[in-house]
A and B are shown apart, each in its own frame.
Chain A
Amino acid sequence: MSFPWAKEYTPASGFTKWIDEKLPLPRFVYNAVGAGYPVPRNLNYMWNFGVLAGFCLVLQIVTGVVLAMHYAANAQVAFGTVEHIMRDVNWGWMLRYMHANGASFFFLVLYLHIFRGFFYSSYKAPREMIWLLGVVIFLLCMATAFMGYVLPWGQMSFWGAKVITGLFSAIPLVGEPIQVWLLGGYAPDNASLNRFFSLHFLLPFVIAGVVILHIWALHIPGSSNPTGVEVKSESDTVPFHPYYTAKDGFGLGVFLIIYCVVVFFLPNMLGHPDNYIEANPLSTPAHIVPEWYFYPFYAILRAFTFDFILEAKLWGVLAMFSSILLWFLLPWLDRSPVRSGHYRPLFRIFFMIFVADMAVLFYCGGAPAEEPYVMISQIATAYYFLHFLVILPIVSSIEKPKPLPYSITEAVLGSDKKAVLGENTQPAT
């Protein structure tokens, strides 16, 4: 599970020896995020976001459990109980703003984590399983966030639930019954709110379970690194603790500063004013938009406006789901033996276009459904699919990568004199 030079846990006192015999939990932690886990020495700050995502999950669970103590999932009173939390519960306003903005920051961190994976091809062998589990986590987070946004029972909650469950009605023949089954009625109401609350409480723990598998799978090959060259000897690595605990600690501090500026000074910046209007089935808001973190996929959904064999709506739904599901295929679409984008000149050009394309999709997803935004999002949607499914496989087959450093040590220090497995016992100074 680890490199031969990984430090071994040695219990210091009689008590820890006793614990280590009965339940070696301290040993487990030591090997997972302690000195017993050797990590490449050259990780840059893009490698901070995994730990930050884990922090966000814990933050959401802790604030969410306390909020659930004061919230009632009943369509008659849900909106009022949220206001009760904001006004009468001690520190309720802080818990709610931390939770609502925590979801946004969770997604921000996830997107940066995924961006890291795209650029450094973290999905390639031997790390395919980590990537597949990561996509599962992302899908679960999307479902959880969507259902959480319904709970305050404001206008966007109600109409968002209606639009998103309405997507299933595009499926031929069984679409309508599926939508009714999902909502527990013909429109979002008490039955929908109750089940969404129940699932919104359950899914974070499912996510936590998949996160454990994600980290377990990570510890088998060990972390990737910015050169994409695998670890060869001890001088390529440093123990996770204290090196990366210290680095993650600093990263967490920077993250918390930005997060707290939003929570305490701009708590409604990322939300939508319409959600402070109680849900009203008889009044449709002028622009129904999801939360910002769904914008790119919402733009893809709305880009399909032309009936071609199938109904436009069905194309949109298929494309939206495919746009994420195709990430599952990435380890097999990208054939380049080189992982890091730093050594792949042609890939880098298309990757930059892809990042710009995502930015355009983000913008169009939040814009009203009118020209020129629809036309722009159609071009961007076409590029999105071409990038992953056509360009990436071709580019990875034909490009000539730049020469790779012999080892991580060479990349960091300029030379690696003893780069043979096990021989290099002293960390380079």
Chain B
Amino acid sequence: MIRIIAALAGLVFAGVALLAFFNGAYTALTEEPQHSADHEFHLEAHGPKGGFSFDGPTGNWDIAQLQRGLKVYSEVCSACHSLKFVAFRDLEELGYSEAQVKAFAATKQVPGIDPNTGEATTRPGEPTDYFPSPYPNAVAAAAANNNAIPPDLSLMTKARHHGSDYVYSLLTGFTDPATFEKDGKRLMEEFPDFTTPDGLYFNPYFGNLNLAMSPPLVAEGQVTYDDGTKATVPQMAEDVAAFLTWTAEPKLVERRQTGWGVLVFLLFATVLAYFAKKQIWAGVKPKKKA
């Protein structure tokens, strides 16, 4: 009885699933498949030539690069993007001394309370403060940016697929849709109706190809590096992508170094466990025939 009921239930479920299949197959055969520009002309993110210093299981931070990236963030990105999970004190990990961090924090104005009147005001930052947001709230951020709120950058490289490469590709990827081609096909020939609306900017690395952010890195020397590195656009993009990788995962290198120690220990312990098992079982395993 139980098997008859089960078989009936199975046939019903399978039947309805197959009905849905034939319905879907009929639709697929009778309707032209929809092609879209963002589906066919989207580009996969790629890293800078030679990759990042922290790529791979033994990669490490390039401290000088992180410092340059901080400068790019401070002078360019921070005009619109917050970095709310990073505190000034964290910058000591980038090789700055306590005094340098204190001085850097003091150059930033953070929200505070007037000790005399109790009214909201601003005060110079302390090392324990977090990077301040450029806008007082989301409404102000939207109002100042054509209704597109600039996202917080603290976790950006973990919040996108291949995040470090994505940030680099996006920053260097702004181009003219009129001449853009992928695999020898021109966007404007395949999709003559494609337009980039006013206030948006064409970027093939962005999901729907039109991005609300104007190209932030436009000219060589836009940032003056303290270490004398030539501030080309790809260089600035690489540096800030590295910096944002650090802000998203400050324990990245510590994690991998711990991991190597753990793996060496585990390999050793597992080899011992293997031989222990072999010896214990030696008596009851059948002898192999020669």
Contacts and interface: CB of A to CB of B under 8 A. Distances in A.
B160 A306 contact: no
A332 B85 contact: no
Nearest to A387: B10
Interface string B118-137: 00000000000000000000
* Residue with the highest number of chain B CB atoms closer than 10 Å, among A305, A326, A388: A305
A94 B255 contact: yes
Interface in B10-32: 10-11, 13-21, 23-25, 28
A277 interface: yes
A261 interface: yes
A382 interface: yes
A326 B10 CA distance: 10
B17 to A, nearest CB: 4
B158 A268 contact: yes
A93 B252 CA distance: 9
A355 interface: no
- Classify the secondary structure of B's interface with A: helix
Contacts of A254: 270
B250 interface: yes
* Residue with the highest number of chain B CB atoms closer than 10 Å, among A94, A257, A286, A378: A378
Contact of B24 (A253, A375, A388): A375
Interface in A227-271: 238, 242-243, 246-247, 249-250, 252-254, 256-257, 260-261, 263-265, 267-268
B7 A390 contact: yes
A61 B2 CA distance: 39
Interface stretch (B74-82, B94-102, B279-287): B279-287
Contacts of B273: 246, 249-250, 252-253
B272 to A, nearest CB: 8
Contacts of A274: 159
A276 interface: yes
Nearest to A396: B3
A319 interface: yes
A263 B259 contact: yes
- The 3 A-B pairs of least Cβ separation, nearest first, read A264-B259, A389-B10, A253-B270
Interface of A: 41, 80, 83, 86-87, 93-94, 97, 238, 242-243, 246-247, 249-250, 252-254, 256-257, 260-261, 263-265, 267-268, 273-274, 276-277, 286, 303-306, 308, 312, 315, 318-319, 322, 326, 329, 332-333, 335, 371-372, 374-375, 378-379, 381-383, 385-386, 388-390, 393, 412-414, 427-429
22 contacts: A83-B155, A86-B251, A238-B284, A246-B277, A257-B270, A261-B259, A265-B259, A276-B155, A306-B16, A308-B19, A319-B17, A333-B6, A371-B28, A378-B18, A381-B14, A381-B17, A382-B14, A382-B15, A388-B6, A389-B9, A427-B284, A428-B284
